[in-house]
Structure 1
Amino acid sequence: MTTRRGTAFFHDERSLQDGDEAGVRRRLLALMAQSGLMQQLALRGAAPASEVDLRRVHDGDYLASFKALSDHGGGELGDCAPFGPGGYELARLSAGLALQAVDEVLSGRSRNAYALTRPGHHCLPELAMGGCLLANIPIAIEAVLAKHGPRRVAVVDWDAHHGNGTQAVYYRRSDVLTISLHQDRGFPAGYGGLRDRGEGAGRGFNLNIPMPPGSGHEAYLHAMERIVAPAVERFEPALIVVAAGYGANAVEPLARMLLHADSFRAMTARLVALAERHCDGALVMVHEGGAAESCVPQCAHAAIEALSGAMLAAAIDDPLLALIDAQQPGARLVEFQKSCIEAMREET
């Protein structure tokens, strides 16, 4: 059994200038520096993902169009996917950060890792979507499997929006379990996906959990315990990768959920426990969406604390935590949400 040490944190200053959510990433780094969390992590950089890495997932014509548009100053690449000059190189950098984080853990250099990337989970092999220009997590998984050999990988996506890009890549495969826990009919607009379970060899290895809008802390933890954890345990992966989006926070402009920092702390802790049981601790979190600059940094900070087991000298002052906690659904609504989750569990 490999002995892994500590938590690695992958980021690059260049990525902090790119995309609508760059301000969120800058604020997260500032919060981590102020709290002392940054000093308890092994800081890493990464080279951009290579063309070979990209082509394991993406269509060659798509990559050529992306690069050509980037070289001419940027523009709209697909469905709600605008970008500026140099976007191709910056997207490759994010994919490289995810790739190196996965390699770091599977190589045994670190026990687990967090990659601070721009979003990628909506990007299809042939189409950019929802601000996602490259499919960071599939690029990382495919590159590392090519290097280390076949492994069973579970991807858990808890962003408020459906992980449609990751689903598309692995929909017909049985070696990668994809689970998306998202707001029902949020984004892509009108999609829930409860009955989309994969096709062919992948049948049963894709799982969607469309949460009712307004779901809060208790409903999410119930879904994690009743659906996500049992699915991961049945699959017995060698690695768990989390698409760590924070759009389900209570003040997010692009979603209608009610999570707070302690929600993401608790969900991370549950996945850490699963990784300890099945993967010798091998867990990688790849940063995804979340546009609320007032809340996402605290949510991501809480997740990284739980991932690393860091002991901080003082608790982080989260000015929204008490307010969001007071706005959680009442007992009757929580029971309704749990009944919806139980019904979904019966269908899986």
Structure 2
Amino acid sequence: MPTAFYFDELCLWHTTGEHVIIAPVGGYLQPPSGAGHAEGPETKRRLKNLVEVSGLGAALDWRRAAPVSRAEMERIHTAAYLDKFKALSDAGGGNAGHYSPFGRGSFEIAALSAGLVKQAVSDVFHRRVDNAYVLSRPPGHHCLPDASMGFCLLANIPIAIEALRAEAGPLRVAVVDWDVHHGNGTEACFYDRDDTLTISLHQENCFPPTQGGTADRGRGKGEGFNLNIPLLPGGGHQTYLDALDLLVEPALRAFRPDLIIVASGLDANAFDPLARMQAHSETFRHLATRLHALAGELCGGRILAAHEGGYAEGYVPFCGLAVIESFAGQRTPVEDPFLGILTEQQPPADFIAFQRARLERQAREAGLG
């Protein structure tokens, strides 16, 4: 079976209003002459376009999906939050939380974004497709049960997980979040549960500030089932591979999931305006290849990725293509035109060694090394 690609053009019609990077226009903040809010549609549209023009699109199984229902949303979100979001959306837009503006109709588009993830989760688990990449927008990994946050309006992955459990019964699901920002929303949804392993690799103290520390390991039954891996800014390619070796892979082996879901933020790349991690397309290729192989060993190959952040229009497509190529087991003629200089700009060996020592210490403290 081919790798499936879940996409709906309407997801790119979600609007965040008139902003500059993350701040609303007004006062001394001049309206933008070009790109406005960081979470615009162009990075996703360019990724979809590169998938097509590279030739990889012809080898993928392109799929759409229905929106999630209100009842499916309510397995994760409070009724009060959903009522507020829906009312603001119908009234022309607003902001239902922290740094999460939206326009008219975004409630329905967010339901569609979550629906794409839900359908992919079901299809991968039931082996209707081999694996999948979901070009979901708006993203979801910051969204809390009772509030939006960080451009995220619905918790796409948690909604999809609970929909699958309602359909298939109890399951052990692992979420590996390699978005450069802490996956606080997914963490909050499952913090007191032992059936979901949540792993977040993120730039330390980036967003949300002060969250995502190593001491946050879960609560009650969930103690030990949340793993935060904060990385020093500028860590680069090797730091991600070290984190995979020392923490992510041992945690997945110990948990033995029935399904692995990747929260595929591509904003750890060196050009991203909202982070400083110095990763490149081969970083994401290595991560995807290793996790794909691990899924084959642990859960019959059941793995999919749901798109999250990534705000460098010119570079996100090369990172995303590398992930999808890895899942599909194909390599297109596309060469990353920025890879040479980004490889030369990687951090020095002593910094990489210092970062690795931190990861080794964390692995010991988490009982993984």
TM-score (norm 1): 0.97
Corresponding position of 2:168? 148
CA distance in structure 2 between the aligned counterparts of 1:143 and 1:170, rounded to whole angstroms? 14
Q: Look up the equivalent residue of 1:115 and give its one-letter code.
A: V
**90-99 or 19-28: which moved more?**
19-28
Q: Say whether residues 1:85 and 2:108 are aligned partners.
A: no
Deviations 1:18-39 (A, max 9, x none): 2423111110011111101111
Q: Say whether residues 1:11 and 2:7 are aligned partners.
A: yes
Calculate percent identity across the aligned residue pairs. Answer: 52
Corresponding position of 2:126? 107
Q: Say whether residues 1:259 and 2:255 are aligned partners.
A: no
Unaligned runs of 5+ in 2: 16-38
Q: Say whether residues 1:338 and 2:359 are aligned partners.
A: no
Give the SS at the match of 1:110: coil
**Any conservation in 1 of the 2:261–2:305 contact (CA below 8 Å)?**
yes
Q: Compute the displacement of 1:335 (Å).
A: 0.8
1:124 to 140, 144, 151: 144
Corresponding position of 1:139? 159
CA distance in structure 1 between the aligned counterparts of 2:346 and 2:248, rounded to whole angstroms? 22
Corresponding position of 2:231? 211
Q: Look up the equivalent residue of 2:96 and give its one-letter code.
A: L
CA distance in structure 1 between the aligned counterparts of 2:117 and 2:185, rounded to whole angstroms? 15
Corresponding position of 2:365? 347
TM-score (norm 2): 0.91
Q: Say whether residues 1:200 and 2:220 are aligned partners.
A: yes
| Distance 1:340-1:321 versus aligned 2 partners, 3 A rule | same
CA distance in structure 2 between the aligned counterparts of 1:86 and 1:115, rounded to whole angstroms? 21
Q: Look up the equivalent residue of 1:309 and give its one-letter code.
A: G
Deviations 1:258-288 (A, max 9, x none): 1000000000011001100011000010000
CA distance in structure 2 between the aligned counterparts of 1:346 and 1:250, rounded to whole angstroms? 30
Q: State the aligned residue count.
A: 342
Q: Look up the equivalent residue of 1:75 and give its one-letter code.
A: G
RMSD of the TM alignment (CA)?
A: 0.9
Give the SS at the match of 2:148: coil
2:343 to 325, 328, 331: 325
1:25-36 mapped onto 2 (5 Å cutoff): 25-36=44-55
Corresponding position of 2:23? none
Q: Say whether residues 1:271 and 2:291 are aligned partners.
A: yes
Unaligned runs of 5+ in 1: none
Q: Compute the displacement of 1:225 (Å).
A: 0.9
Q: Compute the displacement of 1:331 (Å).
A: 1.2
**Any conservation in 1 of the 2:98–2:150 contact (CA below 8 Å)?**
yes
Q: Say whether residues 1:158 and 2:154 are aligned partners.
A: no
Q: Look up the equivalent residue of 1:308 and give its one-letter code.
A: A
Q: Say whether residues 1:305 and 2:325 are aligned partners.
A: yes
Deviations 1:141-173 (A, max 9, x none): 000110011110000001000000000000000
CA distance in structure 2 between the aligned counterparts of 1:339 and 1:295, rounded to whole angstroms? 30
**Any conservation in 2 of the 1:21–1:289 contact (CA below 8 Å)?**
no
Q: Compute the displacement of 1:190 (Å).
A: 2.6
